[in-house]
Structure 1
Amino acid sequence: RTVGRGGSFDYDKYFKGPMALFGGIEYRTPIEGLRLQLEYEGNNYRNDYAGNLKPSTRWNIGAAYRWRGFDFHLSYQRGDTLSFGITYALNMNSFRQTKFDKPPRSLVNVQPPTTMDSVDQSRLFNSLQKEGKFTANAMTLSADNNEVTIYGDQYGYRNHNEATERVGRVLASELPESVKTYRIVEHNSNVPMLETDIDADNFKSKARYEGLQPDLSETYIS
């Protein structure tokens, strides 16, 4: 089937046209950040958008000074133009998103429910979402009432330690002392992705700073 003809490469037009000489030098002075510049330009300006300019000289001189990320430029161009400019260099990788999250929940002087029957599941799920950025959609209790498993999705904290601490503090204050293990199962589209088991008693002890060097990461495994 005929689809037409393609174009061709104009090799004969590569690197064609009149040549020009241009170049420059830069001198770094003993003054920190100060540089002096001298440039010779070869542009004839015949096809310049501003029109056919006629510079009085092809020599341009300039000075640049760097100070705390700022570059100040002063130059005299074509014998009739004085220019001044300021640029600022920054590292975008050093930017951090501003967060207004409340501090993790304190477990000092907290009175949790005494039994699982008295647990307010609606308040628990709501607190997990607000304070732990964890959307819980199911909760199960083991046959011996010692282990609670929470299923859901962590959508707010990429740092696993921070996410686990916030969720663990909510569970410790909303579940009775009889629960010895908090199991957190994170899933995506109903597929389990990560499981974290928290030793409830050890977690609460360290969260209340009942030790010399409390490290909450020692209280759970993933």
Structure 2
Amino acid sequence: MNNTLDFGVVLHGQYGAMLLSGIKLTLQLALGSWLLAMALAVLLVLLRLANKRVTTALVAVYVSYHRNVPTLIQLMIWYFAIPTLLPASVQIWLNNFNSEFVFSLTALGLCQAAYFCEDIRSGLRAIPSGQTEAARALGMGYIRSMRWVILPQSIRNALPALINHTVLLFKNTSLAMVIGVAELTYATREIENYTFRTFEVYLISSVAYLACSLLLMGAGAILAQRYQRALAR
């Protein structure tokens, strides 16, 4: 058995291309899921702030489900169970347009929305009630005051938690491999099966995940510093 390390085997040719393709798909999945999660989280927060018993209860159930059911189970439900409820024509259409990616993006986005919703709601609690009153005194309605005054401040307050959960979302994209999405972890396993270079390929994959996570945290730190400078003015 040859115990010497050879990173060239997994970095060049078709295997290198597989790794690059896996990284690209991982980033696309993370970005798409993040956009879906953030948009839905803001909507959930607005529904909860409406102080209607029905909407408040529905949002609470949504958050409780997605925060307590494992993300892997949610992925499997979306990929194996949900399609059985759809018309055959829709199933065929999804299969023609990479259903694995669509369902994994949907599952991850819906799951992460529950965490983002709670982060933003926590940020709202730190805002003095006088901010809302001041916005109303300036003639702003509910939607305008939330858009221009309240939500920006709540997101700023929730930024550390949002960054942490963004990194968590990025790492959770690796779960999509179980339904056949050819992201980085899937590509890593395939290359290891073909080359038997276990240490090399998993080390490269680990470095890629670490580098992306550190970049996300660094970007979040820069954003937080910009917010602090804006407040200092």
Q: TM-score, normalised by structure 1?
A: 0.24
Task: Give 1 or 2: higher helix fraction.
Answer: 2
Higher relative contact order (CA 8 A, sep 6+): 2
